């Protein structure tokens, strides 16, 4: 009876050993396959384009001085009218021109002491052109000196009063640029796979970068450089 039990125990132990061996082999195989499956390469693709701006915003700020407030306002209106005529002659529509309220400073009210003032009032006003006619805007800006010779005192552009050029057609070129960036990234991944004696697999992960729109250079703000970088991860296999 004891011999039968002993034989049964040995047989049971053998099957347990065999099962553990097979389980260990399967686990090792699964780990190896998992690690192999997780081999991947991360690459980036760049797409750039130069595009012309399609909107121009041109603030024209001018100034008038005087000692009679009524005359100062009249001079502002006269200058505004002459600027409008200049802009209409250059092909702009009246709907593209807006006039902001004037800002008038009474220097006498701000004076300290008995300093003699040459002009009591200083008034500034801004007329703004918002247009899709970017080329016409650039041509008109180049001829501003002729308008200044008529006696209009234009103020220089500062941080809050500069000509802006915008590009609003991003949605029209976005799909093609994303395709270009993705294609470039895949070419880089293929080269890496060849150099490492691997085969390129499917995309593991893809991240589209943000589009940036910047002036091409300081002297040509009406030409924009659109840029996007896409980041992709591809699986690799032997």
For residue 23, the model assigns a pLDDT of 45
For the four alpha carbons of 164, 170, 173 and 176, in that order, the dihedral sign comes to: positive
**Is 54's pLDDT higher than 80?**
yes
**Is 166's pLDDT higher than 70?**
yes
- Partners of residue 224 on adjacent β-strands: 51, 215
CB 89 within 8 A of CB 95: no
pTM across the whole model: 0.76
- Which residues are within 8 A (CB) of 180 and not within 5 positions of it... i.e. 6 or more apart? 45, 47
Distances (CA, A) of 148 to 94, 145, 157: 21, 5, 15
For residue 99, give the 3-state DSSP assignment.
strand
For residue 127, give the 3-state DSSP assignment.
strand
Give percent of the chain above pLDDT 90: 68
For residue 6, the model assigns a pLDDT of 53
Q: How many CB atoms lie within 10 A of CB 31?
A: 10
Report which of residues 116 and 39 the model is more confident about. Answer: 39
Distance CA 58, CA 29 (A): 69
């Amino acid at each position: 009876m004891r011999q039968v039990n002993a034989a049964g125990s040995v047989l049971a132990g053998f099957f347990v050993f065999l099962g553990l061996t097979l389980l260990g082999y399967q686990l090792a195989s699964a780990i190896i396959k998992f690690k192999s499956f997780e081999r991947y390469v991360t690459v980036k693709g760049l797409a750039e384009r130069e595009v012309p701006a399609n909107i121009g915003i041109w603030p024209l700020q001018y100034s008038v001085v005087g000692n009679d407030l009524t005359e100062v306002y009249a001079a502002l209106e006269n200058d505004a009218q002459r600027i409008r005529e200049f802009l209409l002659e250059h092909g702009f529509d009246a709907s593209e021109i807006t006039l902001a309220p004037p800002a008038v400073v009474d220097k006498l009210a701000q004076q300290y002491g008995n300093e003699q003032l040459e002009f009591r009032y200083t008034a500034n006003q801004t007329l703004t052109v918002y247009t899709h006619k970017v080329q016409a805007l650039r041509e008109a800006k180049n001829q501003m000196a002729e308008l200044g010779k008529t006696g209009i005192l234009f103020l220089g552009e500062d941080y809050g009063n500069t000509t802006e050029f915008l590009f609003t057609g991003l949605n029209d070129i976005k799909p093609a640029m994303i395709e270009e960036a993705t294609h470039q990234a895949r070419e880089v991944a293929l080269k890496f796979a060849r150099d490492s004696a691997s085969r390129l697999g499917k995309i593991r992960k893809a991240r589209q970068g943000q589009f940036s729109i910047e002036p091409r250079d300081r002297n040509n703000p009406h030409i924009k450089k659109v840029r996007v970088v896409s980041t992709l991860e591809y699986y690799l296999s032997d």
